[in-house]
Structure 1
Amino acid sequence: MHLLITGANGVVGRFITRRMLDDGHKVTALGRRPVEGCRTGFCRFDLSEAPPELPEADILVHCAFQHEPGKYRGGEGDDPHGFIQANAEGTQRLFEAAKRAGVRHCVFLSSRAVYTDTGNWAVLNENSETQSDSLYGQVKLAGEEALKSLCDEAFSGSVLRATGVYGCPPGLSEHKWSDLFIRLENGEDIAPRLGTEVHGEDLADAVLKVLNRNTSQGNSFEVFNVSDLLLDRQDLLKSYARVRNISVDLPARAPGPLGVMDAGKLKVLGWQPGGSARLQSFLEKSCVAEAGNQD
């Protein structure tokens, strides 16, 4: 297959790009700059601009998202209008361009932020209420609706509502918890937090699973939750300290509550995330890398 991937330089995009290349597929990165160290084609693309004439391809995977660095919720900063124009309107323009170019399947990386904040331990499935209280969640939901409106027998769409993504992205030396681990070792106060997580490699595998799903039964548009672990920051840092063999002060446990995402629909397609074993492997590799940096 030939895949077009937006956001290939980002955290999630790097995991997906590496997996597709490793599986022997052709990849063209759509973005502001090529992906260094990856054997991909390149087509300049910016969400805030009209999309270019897209190369002929089978698949579009849309991971790009324009926001203030380090922020998703609240990533609009002091420019909510530009945030909406790029991420809602720009996404719709991209999907329309892909359909015109003959792309037959589009995968859109959405977010658990589209769900209503339940304020309890509700299990969130793909039919749960979507009425986000954040602009981030609202523009992601707008992207979902834009894709759904275009789907037909010749153009199918899959939405992946992903939770937090951990793991060291291919080609990068840091990950989402790098600063957190440094703060822990420096003895800084760390606030409690509870969240849901999935490894980037498991998310990339989810993309492959939905690309291989059967769309001949009239289900040209489908939504899938992508989540693996319910993770308290205290447990994460306790495991990290154990692997590092260090004594540290841990944050208190987070009180919750939190909506827990049900990924059963994706597992029916054969998706099997790595669970706590993959998290442990990641922590061990992170500690090896940390020790190497100190040599």
Structure 2
Amino acid sequence: MRVALTGATGIAGHAVAARLLSAGWDVVTLGRRPSRFDMPHVGWSLGEQPDVACDALVHCAFAHVPGRYRGGEGNDPDGFLHLNRDGTLRLLDAMAGARIVFLSSRAVYGAYPPGTRLDETMPPRPDTLYGRLKAETEIEVSQRGGTSLRATGLYGPAPPGRDHKWANLFADFVAGRSILPRVATELHVDDLADAVELCLRGRTPPVLDVSDILLDRRDLLALYAEISGTDGRLPDRGDATRVSEMGGGRIRALGWMPQGRAGLRPSLVEMLGLPKPKLGAERSSR
């Protein structure tokens, strides 16, 4: 099976590219520039119809204001919709007959009350243009027999030339700047890549929630301080009861198993560029 992958230079697409390549998939990337991986590449931008034939499409590309997804339209909502909604429709039309895996977002749930336990049986209530765009695209993907992965916040090593998602937060912590309390759901990019491969290997439901840990910023920074040997003022603990988590039971029933909180420490070590502890040292410290 030949798989076309968009967004391979982004944090999600980069992890997906690495996983599919290591698993022996025949992958061609579509984008403005090739990824660092040794795989075929076709020059393409959102809004264009690529000249490539593939059996499957993994669509991770997304045009937005740097660093923002909700609010990613900036001052140009029309251009935002034109590129992401209309451009995706052109891409799907060009890939007629291909198996589709679309990277969606928990933002489609939008306006449910804080603390709501979310699942795929609940109708979308997007309260941002970003969420509305993802929800509308999910319908198009479903009509073509594909699957949309509603992912939560992604963490993990950044693609080459980019900072990881917590770089600014860690810099503020070390500099002694005030940091607001926050609790959020997080998912390692490798676990997202696992979910993508699961969808490629067999027919899956039209929508799957993909989420893992509930992480308090205070706990994250305490772990960062321990690993890096730095010090700083920890923020107050956030209110976890106001976070609306996605259950993710549907994809777990298909055999998907994320890393959980145990994956956070080794991921931070990698994100910070620190040497991994030797196996013997790990065992002796337990």
Per the normalisation by structure 2, the TM-score is 0.91
2:116 matched to 1:116?
no
Q: CA RMSD in A?
A: 1.8
Partner of 1:28: 28
Partner of 2:283: none
Shift of 1:73: 0.6
Q: Structure 1 residue aligned with 2:177, among 163, 188, 194?
A: 188
Q: What aligned pairs does 1:5-154 form with structure 2 within 5 A after superposition?
A: 5-35=5-35, 37-47=36-46, 49-53=47-51, 55-99=52-96, 102-103=97-98, 105-149=99-143, 151=144
Tell me the distance in 1 between the aligned counterparts of 2:235 and 2:208.
Answer: 33
Per the normalisation by structure 1, the TM-score is 0.88
Asked if 1 retains the 8 angstrom alpha-carbon contact of 2:110 and 2:131, the reply is no
Change in Cα spacing, 1:287 to 1:92, as seen in structure 2 (3 Å) is closer
What letter is aligned with 2:210? V
> Gaps (5+ residues) in structure 1?
none
Tell me the distance in 1 between the aligned counterparts of 2:176 and 2:154.
Answer: 25
What letter is aligned with 1:208? E
Partner of 1:197: 186
Asked if 2 retains the 8 angstrom alpha-carbon contact of 1:107 and 1:160, the reply is yes
Asked if 2 retains the 8 angstrom alpha-carbon contact of 1:117 and 1:259, the reply is no
What letter is aligned with 2:254? L
What letter is aligned with 2:112? T
What letter is aligned with 1:145? I
What letter is aligned with 1:31? G
Tell me the distance in 2 between the aligned counterparts of 1:253 and 1:121.
Answer: 16
Tell me the distance in 2 between the aligned counterparts of 1:42 and 1:283.
Answer: 31
> Gaps (5+ residues) in structure 2?
277-286
Shift of 1:244: 2.2
Partner of 1:223: 207
Shift of 1:147: 1.3
Change in Cα spacing, 1:25 to 1:172, as seen in structure 2 (3 Å) is farther
Tell me the distance in 2 between the aligned counterparts of 1:43 and 1:174.
Answer: 26
Instruction: Give SS of 2:274's match.
Output: helix
Shift of 1:285: 2.9
Shift of 1:121: 1.4
The worse-fitting range, judged by mean Cα deviation, of 138-147 and 14-23 is 138-147
Tell me the distance in 2 between the aligned counterparts of 1:21 and 1:290.
Answer: 25
Tell me the distance in 2 between the aligned counterparts of 1:5 and 1:22.
Answer: 15
Partner of 1:273: 258
What letter is aligned with 1:38? F
Tell me the distance in 2 between the aligned counterparts of 1:222 and 1:276.
Answer: 28
Shift of 1:247: 2.9
What letter is aligned with 1:125? D
Partner of 2:245: 260
Tell me the distance in 1 between the aligned counterparts of 2:72 and 2:44.
Answer: 20
Change in Cα spacing, 1:185 to 1:157, as seen in structure 2 (3 Å) is same
Tell me the distance in 2 between the aligned counterparts of 1:80 and 1:46.
Answer: 18
Instruction: Give SS of 2:238's match.
Output: coil
Task: Give CA deviations for 1:237-268 in whole Å, capped at 9, x if unaligned.
Answer: 11111222333201112225111111111111
The worse-fitting range, judged by mean Cα deviation, of 166-175 and 121-130 is 166-175
Shift of 1:290: 9.3
Shift of 1:228: 0.3
Tell me the distance in 2 between the aligned counterparts of 1:77 and 1:173.
Answer: 21
What letter is aligned with 1:249? R
Identical aligned residues as a percent = 42
